[in-house]
Amino acid sequence: MGDTHRQVELEKIGPARFRATNERGGVVTLGDGTDPDFTPVELLLAALAGCGAVTIDPITARRAAATTFRAVATGEKERDEGGTRMGQLTVTFEIEFPEGPEGDAARAILPSTVERTHERWCTVSRTVEAGAPVVMRLGESTTSPR
């Protein structure tokens, strides 16, 4: 499929609990919010914050390693005539660098790095903002008798 293809498989592991596995073997569990597992909406927020973080950190780290790196993603679940969706999505980065010339250099590029991350580099936020179409369908094994 090439370098552009991404895939995650989801398997039921209990009542309202699922395990998502990526092609590299990484695993995350998710549920409906009645247990500690992330909900799908929380995973969306984590993806927004994480996409920014994995983009911003290596760029600023070339100047100085962050002494604090925290991202908080928030949103409001909204209901309209079409159903539910998330709105007012915000990712706030709290990043600190050490004193000195290296820290100053990292602080200097931070605003433009956050801006470019949002406008160009973060696939997740750009996809959410663009409103990419989603197709949900049944696989062949689901619709054929066993």
> Is 114 strand, coil or helix?
helix
Nearest of 85, 108, 82, 84 to residue 95 by alpha carbon:
108
Q: Please say if the pLDDT value at position 104 is more than 60.
A: yes
Domain ranges of the chain: 1-38, 39-130
Q: Please say if the pLDDT value at position 146 is more than 70.
A: no
Q: Please say if the pLDDT value at position 10 is more than 90.
A: yes
Q: Please say if the pLDDT value at position 1 is more than 60.
A: no
Tens of pLDDT, residue by residue over 105-130, are 999 999 999 999 999 999 999 999 99
State pTM to two decimals. 0.88
> Is 134 strand, coil or helix?
coil
Residues linked to residue 71 through DSSP beta bridges, in sequence order: 93
Top-level CATH class of 39-130? alpha beta
Q: Please say if the pLDDT value at position 2 is more than 80.
A: no
